[in-house]
Amino acid sequence: MLPTECLCTRLRRASRGVSKRYDDALSRVGLSAAQYSLLRHLQRLDQPSISDLAAAMGLERSTLGRNLRLLEGRGLVVLQGGADQRNRLASLTAEGERLLAEGLEAWQAVQLLLQQRVQAHHLQALDELLASLDRP
């Protein structure tokens, strides 16, 4: 790998490496890390509007809409109601809940592996750094 001082490049490189670990682990249940995250947010927020879900995930509504339609096509998500597209509600189907539960062990295994690779005091610092970068 070509060394660089560019924070953007280094963060993107690290992010791709971390995402690949989650993607590989979750592939056995047929989900990507992004899909698992979306399903998990739906579960935690309990029928959010598409706008609220996009805000919670830090995604553009159009990107989220495309991802939701793919999951809806697989029978994992249902979109319903609302006066317009912004107000439509999204929720998990029983199959979405089942797949999310099935992927939990894989997600937890990668989470533990990555936490073990980073010393405890560095893990706390990493959490703080990521939180500071996550703010607008």
Among 132, 30, 26, smallest CA distance to 71 is for 30
User: Tokens 């990107």 appear where?
Assistant: 63
Residue for token pair 């980073």:
118
Q: Is 80 part of any domain?
A: yes
pLDDT given for residue 135 in this prediction: 78
Please give the tally of structural domains in the chain.
1
Residue 78, φ and ψ in degrees, nearest 5: -125, 135
Asked if residue 90 lies in contact with residue 50, where contact means CB atoms within 8 angstroms, the answer is yes
Average pLDDT over residues 2-7: 91
- CATH number at 35 reads 1.10.10.10
Q: What is the pLDDT of residues 32-57, one digit of tens each?
A: 999 999 999 999 998 999 989 999 99
**pTM, rounded to two decimals:** 0.88
Question: Can you tell me the distance from the alpha carbon of 16 to that of 21, in angstroms, rounded to the nearest whole number?
Answer: 9
Residue 68 DSSP label: H
- Give the range of the structural domain holding residue 99, as residue numbers without chain letter: 20-134
Task: Tell me the mean pLDDT in the region 113-136.
Answer: 89
Residue 100's pLDDT band (cuts 50, 70, 90): very high
